[in-house]
A and B are shown apart, each in its own frame.
Chain A
Amino acid sequence: MKEPFIELRNISKYFARVIANKDVSFTINKGEVLALLGENGAGKSTIMKALYGLYHADEGEFIIDNEPCIINSPKDAMRMGIGMIQQHFSLIPAHTVLENIVLGNEKGILDRKKLAEKVYSLSQKYNFNIDPNSYIKDLPVGVQQKVEILKALYQDVKLLIMDEPTAVLTPQEAITLMDFVKDFVKRGHSVVFISHKLQEVMHIADRIIVMRNGIVLGDILKKDTNEKDLSKLMVGKDIPVLKKTTTQFSETILKVENLTVAGKQGHLALKNVSFTIGKGEILGIAGVSGNGQQELGETLSGLYLTKEGEIYLENQPINSLSVKERIDAGIGYVHADRHTAGLVLDMSLSENLLLKTSFHKEWSNKSFIKRKKLNKHAEKIVQNYSVKTSGIDEQMKGLSGGNQQKVVLGREVEIGTKLIIFDQPTRGLDLGAIEYVHRTILEERNKGKCILLISTELSEIFALSDRIGVLYDGKLLRIMDKEDANTESIGLLMAGINNIEANSDNINTKDKLPGRENTNNES
């Protein structure tokens, strides 16, 4: 039943600092969902980008329909029937759906009406429901992804490569996507599904290829394997399970009341959010990104002004304090975007440590930087956090992601004497660094600080939190103790379904909240 479509033979790809793929060989069959499984940095995206013509393979060849093929650009790949949906969409927010789909596919004068009809009927074929004249920036992320897919379908692709497609979807939207994948594959086409999520891969794939550090470690049919075996292949070593001590929470350190904040596009990013965090407690906030997480962290750190509501730190209102004043008050903030918001990549390690405290007298003598003291402090951080670097004067951009995050951690835990906010602290890090970050979070919590952990990784939330809340469409739905929470209930909350009682016969009376995600009602 499965005849081969594309074969990759001995593909290798090198970058300036890294060997991304070494001697990778496997086959993609027709009518099959092939999963590429591996953790971040395993080389899965790179090999597919080479197939799609975005990168040039340094060694090896591609065989398509038994003919060797040269693929030098996406145009070549598309001619062979290969389409790719990237992690970061290559859509143009300021343009319409129609303009995005038509780009590069139509020539000459554009007859907008005729083209709109063409696009719309194509979208109907696959059960998408998209207005061709809507602007991408107004569409929710799940719908944007559909536009990306539609773009590939417009070109009659036979292989669809999807790179971490569920990263930006709710569990329910992910189900819809899986339905599409199954439908597409039934028509005799192929899908390569790149993911680091074991459960997902076991659900959707027919065959699984496991990669680590740029090489292929396993090429297995799904029916011949299970999650445990796969994770062993993925990781290669046993990760120690972190022991978490439960504590009794005494005083409330952070109290947030009825926080309402306007977002960048004028909509309300946070609506009536209330919660407290006690001394030595970790509150985990789960949720698909884009539901107000970033605004929550940024408001607490002083960047956003609240429309309504109050924030109390140790019973003192801090609403009117500036970013600088909140740093002085002992709030540390590890931002989700460590490159843009947390570090100055062109500056040295030591200079980055000064970033938030340059106003403080302890680092400056009449405005002159106390170099010696700063350098000593930098050495201490490098040692305490095992930062791999050539020296405290090395530019931050020379460090790996994990080591950069360690520096940010080292800085923020010093600043955050009362409260530390972590937003996606382990995104893009390898397992060793992830374990380090988790250890640090627990250590700080044991010191009695209150921790706000915002993450889209449910496993992380479950591993670290004492209590868990879910952000959906700017509202904080339900905070429960860790013991009372499970993936299903959290998953439903993440999609906005807030059952007062979690029995199945109450599902019809669900409190479905108005939100952007409701424009596509396929669940």
Chain B
Amino acid sequence: MNPKIKDLIITTFLSILFGMILSGLLLLFLDKNPITAFGKLFSFLFRDGYTFADIFVKATPLIFTALAFAFTFKASLFNIGAQGQFYMGAVAALSVSHLLGGIIPGPVALIIIFLSSLLAGGVWGALVGFVKAKFNANDFLVSMMSVYIALAFMNYLLRTVLIESKHEYPQSDPILKDVFLPIFVNGTRLHTGFLMAVVIAVLCWIFLYKTTYGYRIRVVGMNPIAAKFAGIEAGRIYILAFLISGGLAGLAGFTEVNGVQHMLVQDFNTTIGAEGIGIAILANANPIGIIFGAILFGALKVGGSILGQTSGIPSSIIELMEGFVMLFVILSYYVRRKLELRREILKLKSEAEV
């Protein structure tokens, strides 16, 4: 097997392992036994079908936000705004669900809702891309700010236009059953949104590596000057990348509103943007790797929350594990580079001796 790939798999596995171990050690501060804690975490995951399926339910929006970051990352852009694009997509999903639910047949409505989330997130993201293309603004900063603006916007709507009929809490009315994303495994919460996420991840991979559009995005990401000389307009690529990226994050809004919550409330899924970035880094921005990374994070979340409920271990352990794993993944980049350099020197030395 290609030594580079072997290194990748081993170091990724070790990063996850070390991340877990380090967070486990911190549990000692709480007088909790990390070994039993992790043992319990794993056993919880498999205790019943519902819990196990929940891993994939939790993974679904993470696949989208991770794809969002990875997509622009390929163009050397930083979309830190996935959280905000997710909010916009969620707002769109809810509004259109209310508008069309019960009026148009379910499946048709779902397709339209899908498109509106895609569009809402995409436009919100494309605004960042536009600002970058036209004014050479700092995409990192602008996308970061856009999250807070989107959040304020969503909270405003929840307080006013979208508020529930009772006008008691800043949340929406539930959507009608016929615009629920159907559940495809009986007895669980696992909805078709997960399948959609996997398919879209694969489509992203195909787009990036098999099409000329994806090729051009990667060229701009790796060498914008050469792209210019090749007649590739960077500005267009920026907008395209942010449009697709934002759209992907917007779809997370669709799956969460129509597949899980079935309504819109404040303070839900507040961390999927940042976690998406973490997953994308873990998977080296590869769409297929993202699917597995998201499932891993989903497992951590499900297991971690049950741990929190049963054995008094705070749910912040999840963030700790995520943070440590990310850090070790970054260290593994360094390690792999060093290994590769060593291989090259050895090769040279052996060639020189010939």
Contact = CB atoms under 8 A, between A and B. Distances in A.
Chain A in direct contact with chain B (Cβ < 8 angstroms)? yes
Interface of A: 16-19, 301-303, 322-327, 333, 335, 337, 340-347, 351, 354-356, 358-359, 363-364, 367-369, 371
Contact of B225 (A16, A322, A341): A341
A354 B215 CA distance: 9
A323 B225 contact: no
Contacts of B229: 301, 303, 323, 333, 335, 341-342, 356
A368 B222 contact: no
B244 to A, nearest CB: 14
B222 A347 contact: yes
B230 A356 contact: yes
B36 interface: no
A324 B212 CA distance: 15
A302 B210 contact: no
Given A345-B223, A368-B210, A356 B341 contact: no
Interface in B286-343: 341
B348 interface: yes
B337 to A, nearest CB: 12
Contacts of B232: 324, 358
A341 B222 CA distance: 12
A355 B219 contact: yes
B132 interface: no
Contacts of A18: 348
B215 A19 contact: no
Contact of A323 (B210, B230, B352): B230
A-B residue pairs, 3 tightest by C-beta: A324-B231, A323-B231, A356-B230
Contacts of B352: 19
Contact of A342 (B219, B226, B344, B348): B226
Contacts of A364: 211-212
Interface of B: 210-213, 215-216, 218-219, 222-223, 225-226, 228-232, 341, 344-345, 348, 352
Contact of A363 (B212, B218, B348): B212
A344 B213 contact: no
Contacts, number: 78
Given A16-B348, A342-B229, A347 B218 contact: yes
Nearest to B352: A19
Nearest to B344: A16
A311 B352 CA distance: 52
Nearest to A298: B229
Contacts of A359: 212, 231
Contacts of B348: 16-18
A364 B214 CA distance: 12
Nearest to B349: A14
Contacts of A351: 215
Contacts of A358: 212, 215-216, 219, 230, 232
B277 to A, nearest CB: 22
A363 B210 CA distance: 12
B221 to A, nearest CB: 9
Contacts of A16: 341, 344-345, 348
A150 B344 CA distance: 41
Contacts of A301: 229
Contacts of B225: 337, 340-341
A355 B218 CA distance: 11
A356 B348 CA distance: 34
Contact of A367 (B211, B218, B222): B211
A355 B230 contact: yes
Given A16-B345, A324-B231, A355-B230, A344 B212 contact: no
A393 to B, nearest CB: 11
Contacts of A324: 231-232
Given A16-B344, A16-B345, A369-B215, A344 B228 contact: no
Contact of B219 (A302, A323, A333, A347): A347
27 contacts: A301-B229, A302-B231, A303-B228, A303-B229, A323-B228, A323-B230, A324-B231, A325-B231, A327-B231, A340-B223, A340-B225, A340-B226, A342-B226, A343-B226, A344-B226, A355-B219, A355-B230, A356-B230, A358-B212, A358-B216, A358-B219, A364-B212, A367-B211, A368-B210, A368-B212, A369-B211, A369-B215
B226 A355 contact: yes
Contacts of A341: 225-226, 228-229
Contacts of B226: 340-344, 355
Residue of B210, B212, B228 ringed by the most chain A CB atoms within 10 A: B212
B110 to A, nearest CB: 28
Given A326-B231, A340-B223, A343-B226, 13 more contacts: A18-B348, A324-B232, A325-B231, A341-B225, A346-B223, A347-B218, A351-B215, A356-B229, A356-B231, A358-B230, A363-B212, A369-B215, A371-B210
Contacts of A327: 230-231
A137 B216 CA distance: 34
A343 B229 CA distance: 10
Contacts of A354: 215
Nearest to B218: A347
A344 B231 contact: no
A325 B228 CA distance: 13
A323 B222 CA distance: 19
B218 to A, nearest CB: 7
Residue of B215, B232, B344 ringed by the most chain A CB atoms within 10 A: B215
Contacts of B341: 16
